Amino acid sequence: MKNLKIIAAVGKNMELGYRNDLIWKIKEDLQFFKKQTMGNYIIMGKNTYESLPKQLAGRKYIVLTSDEHLHKNDKLLTFRTIRDVLEFVKKNKDSQFFVIGGGQIYKSFLPYVNAMYLTEINDTFKNADTFFPAFDKNQWIKQNIQVFEENKITYKRILYLRKKTK
């Protein structure tokens, strides 16, 4: 799906989170996330929704959950299945959708996504409890590789594009 992308920040072991929070908070990367997602739909699981410190302004929320309480929140679009979200994405071809996590949701959407922005942080965190799903890097082309450093942590931002299957 052309209008659906993953965006994530991972450690050297594909770490994503710890105790329902981010491991690294890199200012420049959070600004990049903001720039990409502003005005667009962001798709997340309930845990990630609950982990966000505040409602992110200017973004349209899609939350996957079986929690009936959340389905009554009229500030959110809520869905019960991945398939229903994919149908909504398909119907709204002129809108951009970003899968913003967490681990469960990345894993479910990875097969349907042809592009992902991964910020690869040159650091590890041994207590991490949530990870980005494994994927075969041979099936992706790396584009726009940029290298950064903030507070002595180096990281790369890579746009992965899925190779076309013949």
Ligand X SMILES: NC(=O)c1ccc[n+]([C@@H]2O[C@H](COP(=O)([O-])OP(=O)(O)OC[C@H]3O[C@@H](n4cnc5c(N)ncnc54)[C@H](OP(=O)(O)O)[C@@H]3O)[C@@H](O)[C@H]2O)c1
Interacting residues with ligand X (CB under 6 A): 8-9, 16-17, 20-22, 44-48, 51, 64-67, 80-82, 100-105, 108, 130
Nearer of residues 117 and 140 to ligand X, judged by Cβ: 117
- Minimum distance between the CB of residue 107 and ligand X, rounded to whole angstroms? 8
Give the shortest CB-152-to-ligand X separation in angstroms.
19
For 48-74, the DSSP string reads: HHHH-SS--TT-EEEEE---HHHHT-T
What is each CA distance from 134 to 14, 28, 59, 103, 108, in whole angstroms? 8, 26, 28, 11, 12
Q: How far is the CB of 79 from ligand X (least distance, A)?
A: 7
CB 166, min distance to ligand X, A: 30
Distance CA 118, CA 129 (A): 19
* Closer to ligand X by Cβ: residue 61 or 101: 101
CA distance 10 to 132: 7
Kindly tell me which of 21 and 163 has the beta carbon lying closer to ligand X.
Answer: 21
Compare residues 62 and 103 and give the one whose CB is closer to ligand X: 103
